[in-house]
Amino acid sequence: MLTPEQALDHATDIVARATRAGADAADSVVVSSGSTEVSVRLGKVEDIQRSESGDLGLRVFVGSRSASASTSDLSPAAIAALVERTVAMARLAPEDPFAALAPAERLATGPFDDFDGNDGIEIEPDALKLRALEAEDAARAVEGVTNSEGGGASHGTGITAIATSTGFGGARGGSSHSVSASVLVGEGARMQRDYYSHSTRHLDDLDAASAIGAEAGRRAVARLDPVRLKSGAMTVVFAPRVANSLLGHFAGAITGAAIARKTSFLIDRLGEAVFAPGISIVDDPWRARGMRSRAFDGEGLATKPAALIDNGVLTGWIADVAAARQLGIAPTGHAWRGVSGAPGAGTSNLHMAAGNVSPTALIADIADGFYVTELIGMGVNGLTGDYSRGASGFRIVDGEIAGPVAEVTIAGNLKDMFATLIPADDLVFRYTTNAPTIRIDGMTLAGE
């Protein structure tokens, strides 16, 4: 695995090679990672994997024409061939008046904070095995669990380096630790499954493996013998582990590319109230130990925390350089890129601020409702906001969580859902995108 210095040297070198080969401008990204994963099932090790990779992506511009290529072979001969081929491709590409590097005057300058994203701990496979076994054992020990899909534990580190011909060069990296367990309950047609997992940057933030396993078992047992609800209008409450998907739909609707293509249901809502007063949605790339924290984006622009929704109002778009030029706005520092293709825009550590009511109080007045813990499918129309997804979870009866529910569909329109949703006060920063429990009245449920 490359060091940050080696990765940045590769990125800087290939940019220089590209400009010498005739490119008017170029940028590159080098991604290097190493990970160890152990999976177990029924108390025995099923698989141990160790992987290390190093990949390089190059984008070159010849006038307003551009091309991209990538390689996992970092030898001098392979890089020389990649440069020659990419410049030749760019000369044949169609002109694009919007594609360009980030403006030099807006590039981030170091030193760059790593936001405590790397704990520097190396984990041996034996320790991962014990952690995976502990998680699965705890899950299988829950009364009612009949079988196991397995437990797992992993540890990894990753480095990303970016360089541009306009003078930017930076490298960032981080560590990751994770544990998971998935188990089954019931037999035959009654069989149900559920899982639980946790991923962190620092090992000391990771939940105990036994706690993760026990929660996986508890969740699976709770799903035994589900029923289908009758079709009709219903109040739907999203558990935090699925409520964050609503923020994902929101983020997709405010990307510069979607706005420029006119394929977003929020295209005419800039500066308007999209959510109820008091609602805030924040993208925070500076969160300490955040899974997607970063000081610079995929084009070398400085990042900063941003309230995308402030007191219910949509404050702006998130745009990479190309989309920003098309929209006539400044790029927002939200570019992400891999080693293949051009950058695109996306969020970092996104969250909806907690509300001021507890989850218990949030559902207290619901006589007949649906508490969603799992969503299936991707039935969301980004142009109209129409929303329809398969779901399972639990019935809410007289303000209390009741028996399990499966094989139903919930539907609505995201514009209406955003405008009326109510968040609880139970926000926990557990994923890259986080939300508290969310209540939405008046959705449509299709069941029996």
Give dist(CA 271, CA 258) in Å, integer: 17
Q: Mean pLDDT of all residues in the chain?
A: 96
Determine the average pLDDT of the residues in 30-42: 97
pLDDT at 376: 93
Give dist(CA 174, CA 156) in Å, integer: 8
- Give the total residue count for the chain: 448
Give dist(CA 266, CA 244) in Å, integer: 18
For a pLDDT cut of 70, what percent of the chain falls above it?
A: 100
Give dist(CA 19, CA 25) in Å, integer: 6
Model confidence at 388: pLDDT above 90? yes
Determine the average pLDDT of the residues in 16-25: 97
Determine the average pLDDT of the residues in 240-251: 97
Q: 377 falls in which pLDDT band (50, 70, 90)?
A: confident
Which tokens in the block code for residue 272?
Answer: 């308007």
For a pLDDT cut of 90, what percent of the chain falls above it?
A: 98
Give dist(CA 44, CA 217) in Å, integer: 18
Reported pTM: 0.94
Report DSSP letters for 149-213, one per residue.
EEEEEEEEEEEEEEEETTS-EEEEEEEEEEEEEEEEESSGGG-EEEEEEEEESSGGGSPPHHHHH
DSSP code, position 15: H
Which tokens in the block code for residue 17?
Answer: 């090679």
pLDDT at 178: 98
Which tokens in the block code for residue 310?
Answer: 């402030």
- Cβ count near 189 (within 10 Å): 5
Model confidence at 448: pLDDT above 90? no
Give tens-digit pLDDT for 172-192: 999 999 999 999 999 988 999
Determine the average pLDDT of the residues in 137-142: 98
Distances (CA, A) of 430 to 96, 195, 232, 290, 330: 40, 15, 33, 9, 31
At the top level of CATH, which class does the domain 4-221 belong to?
alpha beta
Residue type at position 397:
V
pLDDT at 189: 87
Report the candidate in 162, 165, 160, 140 with the shortest Cα–Cα distance to residue 151.
140
Model confidence at 281: pLDDT above 90? yes
Model confidence at 379: pLDDT above 90? no
Secondary element (H or E) of residue 375: strand 368-376
Report the candidate in 68, 152, 16 with the shortest Cα–Cα distance to residue 343.
68
CATH code 3.30.2290.10 region(s) in the chain? 4-221
**Using an 8 Å Cβ cutoff, are 297 and 335 in contact?**
yes
- Strand, helix or coil at 340? coil
Give dist(CA 376, CA 392) in Å, integer: 8
DSSP code, position 312: T
pLDDT at 231: 95
Residue type at position 144:
G
Residue type at position 285:
P
Give tens-digit pLDDT for 48-79: 999 999 999 999 999 999 999 999 999 999 99
Model confidence at 401: pLDDT above 90? yes
Give tens-digit pLDDT for 296-341: 999 999 999 999 999 999 999 999 999 999 999 999 999 999 999 8
**Using an 8 Å Cβ cutoff, are 415 and 265 in contact?**
yes
Report the candidate in 239, 440, 241 with the shortest Cα–Cα distance to residue 359.
239
The pair phi, psi for residue 333, each rounded to 5°, is 75, 25
Report the candidate in 392, 373, 404 with the shortest Cα–Cα distance to residue 225.
404
pLDDT at 61: 98
